[in-house]
Amino acid sequence: MRHYPHLYIDGRWTEPSEPREVELVDPTREEPFALVALGGATEVDRAVAAARRAFESFSTTSLDERIALIDRIIDVYESRIDEFSELIAREVGIPVANRAQVTGPAEHMRVARDLLRDYSFESRVGGAIVRREPIGVCALISPWNWPVQTGVIKLIYALAAGCTVVAKPSLNSAASGALLAEVLHQAGVPAGVFNLVSGTGRVVGDALSHHPDVDMISFTGSTGAGKQVGAAAAGTVKRVCLELGGKSANIVLPDADLERAARWNVQRCFFNAGQSCHAPSRMLVHESQVEQVVPFLVDEAERYCLGDPLEPSTTMGPVVSAAQFKSIREHIQSGLDDGANLVTGGLERPDGLERGHFVRPTVFTGVTPEMRIAQEEIFGPVLAVLPYRDEDDALRIANDSPYGLGGFVFGRDRERARRVVNGLRAGRVSFNGAATDSHTPMGGYKQSGIGRSMGRFGLEEYLEVKSVYGFDDEAQTLPTLFG
């Protein structure tokens, strides 16, 4: 049994004021594998106070100092990548073969570091100076499905901006949160600049959201929890950045390469066992072509090797918890009850896996827009294939959702595809499976969130804007804000 008995506050490992711990359950073996300390409101107060004290000096550090700090963090992190890979396999079932989960964070650190070299914190508009200054103490609440990368994206841009941080990882991934704190401590992050308080959302998350000395809160998680964070934060009018749920649609136009579109959709939807907010969990296919894509969908879904995520041959591990396992199976049952056509997968356990929270990759056709599996975020390896009549019908179905995080379009006619891309109400849209870029903003429309992360837009979430007048001569030496 691993043991993480400490929180990280003001540069020191410290036990909670009231000894409390939670067991982390390995979703593969359904057995406890770690004990993690739980903080409470007292620890939140101490961490916020430490961050407030540290902000006075850290906010005035030079860009060269912050760049050097990020370089040290990168070096220490990369020396411990294998530890992170093994730990998140045990924590949340992510296969060690999924290297993107552990190599991605270092890439985001490098993007933030390089941005600092070119970013203008002062610009001019006419004769005025427009300054961007660090917002202050930032509360960062991260999810379990990308347990390292999401937390890293939040904290590295906060540090790049000159802010100080109180981080709360998901309880499901609290051990990797502690390991990340070890990295930052080893890299020499100044005392109070980064603090870690593990705990429940009901206690620690709520205390951070309400805290009058927290200037900004960045939350990634469900839409329901995000609404609670936003409501709590409103009491002190703190800035809120939310990345919430998704039910992304992939519109496959009639002239698309159907095999390529189908295989890519399965790969992207079932990545991370479907536990991704950007997953294209709705595939929209012209009504005359649905039967043509089914063999490709089935073949690709049945290629997954389910098993122990610590085995290099495993390409899909278990879902994170018993609660998630139950929820996904309820959604599959609802698809059956509503009359959708199950073409592969289903409720039965995968062969040879009698223990663990394993869900068979599942594909439904004959799905209609009002069905529960077409409307709700399932957060598991379940794909709903919906037919459409024409381009307008496809956009109507795709946009008929409270979510607007991601979107996808496949086709050959670029002008037509661009028109469809522009019609999707979503924060990120990819054409023909094009890869995303960590320099570009990520965030959602509608109930998928507020604000953006990553790149220049992500950095500016952690910056306040100040207009300064009366320094006309000095302003002329600065770059113009609007080109």
* Catalytic residue set: 243
- Kindly report the number of other CB atoms within 10 A of residue 368's CB atom: 14
State how far the Cα of 459 lies from the Cα of 155, in Å rounded to an integer: 10
Q: Assess contact for 220 and 54: CB atoms under 8 A.
A: no
Query: Which letter does DSSP use for residue 350 in this model?
Result: P
In the structure encoding, which two tokens stand for residue 108, read together?
A: 């985001």
State how far the Cα of 179 lies from the Cα of 444, in Å rounded to an integer: 29
Write the single-letter amino acid at 183.
Answer: V
State how far the Cα of 385 lies from the Cα of 399, in Å rounded to an integer: 15
CA distances from 222 to 115, 244, 270, 276 (A): 30, 5, 19, 11
Residues 6+ apart with CB under 8 A from 213: 48, 49, 52, 137
Give CA angle at 328 (324, 333), nearest 5°: 145
**Residue 62, burial from CB neighbour count under 10 angstroms (0-12, 13-18, 19+):** exposed
State how far the Cα of 404 lies from the Cα of 113, in Å rounded to an integer: 29
